[in-house]
């Protein structure tokens, strides 16, 4: 825990306290302190009793404006009579204003020590496992949220970055995104209300008619991000299933409105890809539905199960590099830990168990998830089924996912040579067993890109 004392009193009480815990002592100098706070995450800032009220207020304002999650222990002589504003306590529940009766270095030292030790023990009770992680992309879709949000700095260190119900701007969140931050954290006690808030926003958006396909895609992508988050934190509760159904209905409507691969590809690139896991799940939903439409397999139940399986097939993964691996023999063992590889191996079954829990779903939806890494040559996983053992609808799903993977890195413009290469490769791999019929669906939709 990092502690800094602001004091001009370099001779008396404060240095004694600081030497016990290796606490930094800095004189009152706004620029110097701002630079220190920028350089290092400080947990507790102690304002010494020798700092004037206005100067102390100035330090508090800096911390408040920067939304820093620093606990402030503000010591002051009672004779001055001033007390902090209410927002001093609202900003951080551990903030304390300590009035000192008289100048007595022995009792003062004891007082400082007692307050510091009490605060440290209060803060250390707040542990990382009291929080749920939430994809940072969700925060990019809002300008306020109903709970405090935190940033994890280390396995045991977490700081508040967004205040509940206060407006924040997107640049602030984007700054974290650009530094590679993938998650913010919400306290477990706040998560249920937060989940209702985010799923409520998504559901409300689906009720508003969209004016363009780009808006449809954006809305559905946001829906998938929220859904994965709800599933990771709440599993398949009623609110999750409701949001899932809304996303599926929207997905199917979008494909029916724009039944062309070229249009979907073109607009998808415009709607800002976020993360392979969500993007390819959404593209997979469009492509499986398109193939089913072109093959006259498009009953409502078939479209629903293809869309549901697409959205959920990789929900058990949270690493986008892992999600891009099709076969276990493609894994570069240098780049992944044993735990990550184990997670990859298990994710089809984990997804299967999850989908199985949902009531009243079309049959086979869970099987699609279970078989999505089987391959036509029998070298897939988890079961190593061959082309005659994998059900036809699963073969469609497997071909579609392979296609998504090939198209993902392109924006809408793909040259004819690349398309020929894909067609040749797919004809070689999939012209066998139960893959033959879905291969025809693939040929029909790829025509569109020429």
Comparing CB distances to Fe ion, the nearer of 70 and 325 is 325
Distance CA 365, CA 345 (A): 20
Phi and psi of 187, rounded to 5°? -65, 140
Which neighbouring-strand residues pair with 97? 74
373 neighbors 349 (Cβ within 8 angstroms): no
Q: Which of residues 25 and 309 has its CB atom nearest to Fe ion in the complex?
A: 309
CB of 280 to Fe ion, least distance (A): 6
Shortest distance, CB of residue 399 to Fe ion, whole angstroms?
13
Distance CA 199, CA 238 (A): 11
Instruction: Tell me the site size for Fe ion, rule CB under 5 A.
Output: 1
With respect to Fe ion, which residue has the nearer C-beta, 229 or 314?
314
Distance of CA 411 to the CA centre of its chain: 24
| Cβ proximity to Fe ion, 6 vs 368, nearer residue | 368
Segment interacting with Fe ion (CB under 5 A) among 106-114, 157-165, 310-318, 419-427: 310-318
Residue bearing tokens 């808006």: 215
Of 49-57, 68-76, 164-172, 314-322, the segment contacting Fe ion by CB under 5 A is 314-322
Stretch of residues binding Fe ion (CB under 5 A), selected from 1-9, 203-211, 313-321, 359-367: 313-321
In the complex with Fe ion, which residue's Cβ is closer, 222 or 314?
314
As measured in angstroms, the least distance from the Cβ of 279 to Fe ion is: 10
Q: Cβ of residue 85: shortest distance to Fe ion, in angstroms?
A: 52
Considering the complex, what minimum distance in angstroms separates the CB of residue 427 from Fe ion?
22
CB nearer Fe ion, residue 151 or residue 221:
221
In whole angstroms, the minimum distance from the beta carbon of 403 to Fe ion comes to 12
Q: How far is the CB of 425 from Fe ion (least distance, A)?
A: 18
Based on the shown chain and the rule CB under 5 A, indicate whether residue 279 belongs to the binding site for Fe ion: no
Q: State the binding string over 209-238 for Fe ion (x if CB under 5 A, else -).
A: ------------------------------
Please name which of 80, 90, 54, 81 lies closest in space to residue 72, comparing C-alpha atoms.
90
Q: Which residue is nearest to Fe ion (CB)?
A: 314
Stretch that binds Fe ion, among 6-14, 119-127, 189-197, 306-314 (CB under 5 A): 306-314
Residue 105 has φ and ψ, to the nearest 5°, of: -60, -30
User: Which of 135, 216, 229, 314 touches Fe ion (CB under 5 A)?
Assistant: 314
Considering the complex, state which of residue 46 and residue 224 has its C-beta at the smaller distance from Fe ion.
224
Q: Which range, of 52-60, 81-89, 308-316, 329-337, touches Fe ion by CB under 5 A?
A: 308-316
**For Fe ion, which is the closer residue by CB, 220 or 314?**
314
In the complex with Fe ion, the residue whose CB is nearer, 123 or 331, is: 331
Q: Single out the segment in contact with Fe ion by CB under 5 A; choices: 286-294, 307-315, 330-338, 442-450.
A: 307-315
314 in Cβ contact with 360 (< 8 Å):
no
Q: How many CB atoms within 10 Å of residue 117?
A: 11
**Region from 110-118, 150-158, 309-317, 385-393 binding Fe ion, contact rule CB under 5 A:** 309-317
Q: Which is nearer to Fe ion, 216 or 314 (CB)?
A: 314
382: preceding bond cis by omega (within 30 degrees):
yes
In angstroms, give the least distance from the CB of 310 to Fe ion. Answer: 9
**Could you give the CA distance from residue 54 to residue 155 in angstroms, rounded to a whole number?**
37
Q: Min. distance of Cβ 313 from Fe ion in angstroms?
A: 5
Strand pairing report for 71-77 and 157-162: unpaired
Give the nearest distance from C-beta 244 to Fe ion in angstroms.
17
Of 320 and 448, the one with the shorter C-beta distance to Fe ion is 320
**Calpha distance 102→114 (Å, rounded):** 17
Provide the minimum distance between the beta carbon of 113 and Fe ion in the complex, in angstroms, as a whole number.
Answer: 55
Q: What is the nearest approach in angstroms of Fe ion to the Cβ of residue 372?
A: 6
Nearer to Fe ion, 267 or 280 (CB): 280
Binding site for Fe ion (CB under 5 A): 314
């Amino acid at each position: 825990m990092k502690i800094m004392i602001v004091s001009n009193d370099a001779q008396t009480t404060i240095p004694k306290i600081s030497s016990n815990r290796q606490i930094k002592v800095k004189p009152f100098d706004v620029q110097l302190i701002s630079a220190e706070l920028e350089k290092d995450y400080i947990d507790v800032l102690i304002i010494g009793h020798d700092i004037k009220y206005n100067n102390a207020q100035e330090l508090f304002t800096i911390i408040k404006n920067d939304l820093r999650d620093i606990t402030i222990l503000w010591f002051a002589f009672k004779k001055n009579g001033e007390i902090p504003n209410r927002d001093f306590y609202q900003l951080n529940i551990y903030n304390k204003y300590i009035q000192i009766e008289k100048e007595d270095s022995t009792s003062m030292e004891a007082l400082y020590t007692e307050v510091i030790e009490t605060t440290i023990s209060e803060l250390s009770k707040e542990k990382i496992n009291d929080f749920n992680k939430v994809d940072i992309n969700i925060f990019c879709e809002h300008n306020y949220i109903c709970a405090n949000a935190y940033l994890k700095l280390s396995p045991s260190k977490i700081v508040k970055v967004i205040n509940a119900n206060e407006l924040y701007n997107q640049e602030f969140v984007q700054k974290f995104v650009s530094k590679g931050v993938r998650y913010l954290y919400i306290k477990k006690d706040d998560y249920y209300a937060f989940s209702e808030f985010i799923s409520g926003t998504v559901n409300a958006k689906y009720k508003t008619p969209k004016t363009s396909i780009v808006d449809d895609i954006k809305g559905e992508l946001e829906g998938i991000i929220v859904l994965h988050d709800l599933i990771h934190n709440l599993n398949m509760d009623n609110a999750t299933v409701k949001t899932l159904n809304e996303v599926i209905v929207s997905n199917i409507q979008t494909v029916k409105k724009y039944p062309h691969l070229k249009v979907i590809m073109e607009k998808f690139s415009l709607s800002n890809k976020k993360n392979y896991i969500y993007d390819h799940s959404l593209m997979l939903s469009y492509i499986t539905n398109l193939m089913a439409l072109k093959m006259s397999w498009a009953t409502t139940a078939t479209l629903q199960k293809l869309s549901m399986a697409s959205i959920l097939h990789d929900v058990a993964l949270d690493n986008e590099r892992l999600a891009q691996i099709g076969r276990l023999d493609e894994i570069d063992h240098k780049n992944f830990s044993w735990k990550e590889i184990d997670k990859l191996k298990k994710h089809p079954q984990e997804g299967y168990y999850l989908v199985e829990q949902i009531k009243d779903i079309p049959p086979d939806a869970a099987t699609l998830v279970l078989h999505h890494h089987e391959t036509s040559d029998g070298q897939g996983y988890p079961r190593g089924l061959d082309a005659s053992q994998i059900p036809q609808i699963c073969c469609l799903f497997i071909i579609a996912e392979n296609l998504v993977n090939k198209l993902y890195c392109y924006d809408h413009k793909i040259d004819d040579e690349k398309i020929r290469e894909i067609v040749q490769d797919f004809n070689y791999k999939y012209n066998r067993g139960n893959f033959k019929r879905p291969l025809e669906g693939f040929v029909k939709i790829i025509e569109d890109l020429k």
